[in-house]
Structure 1
Amino acid sequence: MARRFRGIGSLIAALTATALVASCSTDTDGSPVAAPIPASEAPEAFAEVIASSNVDAERYVYPVADGESDHDQNWVDLFLPKGDHPDGSVPLVVLIHGGSWQSQIGADTFVTFARRLAERGLAVYNVEYRRLGSGGGYPQTFADVAAAIDFAPEVGRANPAIDMDNAVVVGHSAGGQLAMWAGTRHKLDDDEVGAKPKYRPTSVVSLAGPLDMRTAVSLGDDRIVRALGGTPAEVPERYASVDPIQNIDPSMPTIAMVGTKDRVVPPLLSRNYIDAATKAGATASFVLLPDTNHVTIVDPAGTVFLRVLETISRAAHNARHS
């Protein structure tokens, strides 16, 4: 049975609310169904962008492993194209922002990105998580991302138009690393952070992600050292657990896109990952974007952004028919 996505009116009301209280209803069989959460701290620009676009959206707070969700950071924004949609008909994209795993950049920077994808007929699950400087770092950042993705089925139950059988997880920069890690969490040992996932994406797209973290550190990337709390020599078990190139799953289709002018996360790191994944038998593609740097790859005004949108849209639609 088709179901209309909750309207923009409820979102704008949520954005002006003064309290933030998590809630959850139950389905007829007693299973939990996520309810949208009022978000009083959302950026003012968020309401403006959504109100002027052809999408509906709501915010949800997801539960975390330590039992104390930070309502300013443990949330996801769900975007859907307006209108009625048959159950299971809208492909799902999980979007993970970057920012060197640090608190200066948040998921609000991806509102336009998410809206543009939703305008292409996609459901977009834009994830916020705790970062360095705001309660994150290792292991909390990784536990939060895992918790957010594991919460997706509850949001899907509340919005049955979404195709929950397939999901493309997309990340930029540090989010690219988190996206690749999220796609292979099922390979982790039971005692590792993020192990035993409740929900697994079916493909991954990295946008300028540091997919070979040990090589990145050897090239002088101290952002990774801060995020993981040490160098590969000091905390090798952490790198072994979260470094994408050390956790390749040949059954997981992957795409790594990066700009020729990226001086923050060199193209070599994506190239190394795709070469290793291909050698392992994976369906893996390396896309080198000309005249593109670390920022312009996700700039809605940039010349390559349309290609990025098309690549994600194709991956999401292909996942439904694979």
Structure 2
Amino acid sequence: MSLRRGASRRPYTAAIALSLASALTALPACASPEPVAKVDPTLDGPARLDEVAVQRFEYPTRVGEPDPEQNWADLYIPAGEEEVDSLPLAVIIHGGAWQSEIGADAFDPLARELAARGMAVYNIEYRRLGSGGGWPTTFRDVADALDHVVKVDEVFPQITIDDEVVVGHSAGAQLAVWGGTRHLLDDDEVGSRPRFRPTRVVSIAGPLDAVYAAENGDDRIVKAIGGTPSQVPDRYAMVDPIQNIAPDTPVVALHGSEDTVVSPENSRRYVTSARRAGGDAKLMVIDGENHVSIVSGDSPNYSKVLDTIVSVSDSDLDKVVTP
């Protein structure tokens, strides 16, 4: 993948290569189960990885003690030459109805596919319903994981963090779109004052109109937020994507035409509202895909999902072809 946005081409020094080698070999106790590639600390010049490397980070939480089993994120670094500010970063947030049954490992294949295309990928885990999450912990965790990207960049200076994409599926899509608009929140609201702000978003099968979803039978979002829109309207106002539209944050919403878990109407309503607000938003309804198949490697449309993520990351939304 070519460099974007005028990124620096300064090569690694031996000291930077040594820092990378230390990060890859001195994994914390809850390290990624996959083996990681090692870097020769004597390298002088561009570092090179011969395979995708995975590094686990445990991120701190602003409120309360973190859970090391859940407050972590895996960084995937692609094979090839490594230069400072040379790797665009994609943050990915898994779904699963904000519940503990599905975790970040479900997005490991997607992370590796994107890394194979030359991107660095930051795959977030967070506490969910049934494992200490819910309101407001789940949302705080995602905000804290996003903000930790600044520290990740200090260890891996080859990634760029100035104009990056965040991608989410299902509940993760709601969290992703919200994560790209946290700068709009008041200081006393959950997730406000971001240290790292993704500036473009890909939503896959997301409940982007949380009030509409809750009022049309989605009890999962009601449980995640801790009440109905009429019971806790202030909470919905904080985290509902359609109530926190940032016109300067482009959003591409992908949705399967056969999705009966999260209606495509959620994406349609959000994109319509974002366009009315002057935002750059696109809707892509993929024929024949349901809520799960749209992110399955077995789907004939999977490459279309990957191509969309790469195009949005490259700031080339004109390549995103919508019906």
Q: Assess same fold via TM > 0.5.
A: yes
The 1:111–1:49 alpha-carbon spacing in structure 2 relative to 1, beyond 3 Å, is farther
| 8 Å contact kept, 2:36–2:55 | no
Distance 2:192 2:30 in 1: 29
Q: Name 1:315's counterpart in structure 2.
A: 312
- Equivalent of residue 213 in structure 1, options 210, 222, 225: 210
The CA deviation at 1:161 is: 0.8
Greater relative CO (CA pairs within 8 A, separation 6+): 1
What is the CA deviation profile of residues 155-212 of structure 1, one whole-angstrom value per residue up to 9, with x for unaligned ones? Answer: 0111111111111000000000000100000111111010011111110110000000
Q: Name 1:21's counterpart in structure 2.
A: none
Q: Name 1:288's counterpart in structure 2.
A: 285
Q: Name 1:238's counterpart in structure 2.
A: 235
Instruction: State whether structure 2 residue 74 is matched by structure 1 residue 61.
Output: no
Equivalent AA in structure 1 for residue 238 of structure 2: S
| 8 Å contact kept, 2:36–2:54 | no
What is the CA deviation profile of residues 124-160 of structure 1, one whole-angstrom value per residue up to 9, with x for unaligned ones? Answer: 0000000001110010000000000000011011111
- Equivalent of residue 2 in structure 1, options 7, 11, 17: 11
| 8 Å contact kept, 1:298–1:305 | yes
Distance 2:108 2:316 in 1: 24
Map 1:171-190 to 2 at 5 A: 171-190=168-187
The CA deviation at 1:292 is: 0.2
TM-score with structure 2 length normalisation? 0.86
Distance 2:126 2:294 in 1: 22
DSSP 3-state at the match of 1:206: strand
DSSP 3-state at the match of 2:163: strand
| 8 Å contact kept, 1:168–1:319 | no
The CA deviation at 1:218 is: 1.5
| 8 Å contact kept, 2:91–2:124 | yes
Map 1:189-228 to 2 at 5 A: 189-228=186-225
Gaps spanning 5+ residues in structure 1: where?
15-35
| 8 Å contact kept, 1:171–1:205 | yes
The 1:49–1:56 alpha-carbon spacing in structure 2 relative to 1, beyond 3 Å, is closer
The CA deviation at 1:6 is: 4.1
Q: Which has the higher strand share?
A: 1
Distance 2:36 2:105 in 1: 11
Q: Name 1:38's counterpart in structure 2.
A: 29
- Equivalent of residue 261 in structure 1, options 249, 258, 263: 258
Distance 1:49 1:221 in 2: 40
Equivalent AA in structure 2 for residue 2 of structure 1: P
Distance 1:228 1:121 in 2: 36
The CA deviation at 1:214 is: 0.7
Distance 2:180 2:28 in 1: 27
The CA deviation at 1:37 is: 2.8
Distance 1:49 1:288 in 2: 37
Taking every aligned residue pair, what percent have the same amino acid on both sides? Answer: 51
What is the CA deviation profile of residues 273-319 of structure 1, one whole-angstrom value per residue up to 9, with x for unaligned ones? Answer: 00000010001100000110000111112111111101001111227
Distance 1:319 1:60 in 2: 30
The 1:201–1:48 alpha-carbon spacing in structure 2 relative to 1, beyond 3 Å, is same
The 1:56–1:261 alpha-carbon spacing in structure 2 relative to 1, beyond 3 Å, is same
| 8 Å contact kept, 1:202–1:319 | no
The 1:50–1:279 alpha-carbon spacing in structure 2 relative to 1, beyond 3 Å, is farther
Q: Name 2:268's counterpart in structure 1.
A: 271
DSSP 3-state at the match of 2:266: helix
TM-score with structure 1 length normalisation? 0.86
Cα RMSD of the aligned pairs, angstroms, is: 2.1
What is the CA deviation profile of residues 76-114 of structure 1, one whole-angstrom value per residue up to 9, with x for unaligned ones? Answer: 100011233221111110000000000000001111110
Distance 2:310 2:82 in 1: 17
Distance 1:47 1:194 in 2: 31
DSSP 3-state at the match of 1:124: strand
Distance 1:136 1:85 in 2: 37
Q: Name 1:102's counterpart in structure 2.
A: 99
| 8 Å contact kept, 1:88–1:161 | yes
Equivalent AA in structure 1 for residue 34 of structure 2: A
DSSP 3-state at the match of 1:318: coil
The 1:160–1:260 alpha-carbon spacing in structure 2 relative to 1, beyond 3 Å, is same
What is the CA deviation profile of residues 230-254 of structure 1, one whole-angstrom value per residue up to 9, with x for unaligned ones? Answer: 0000000001110000110111100
Distance 1:104 1:48 in 2: 25
Distance 1:232 1:310 in 2: 36
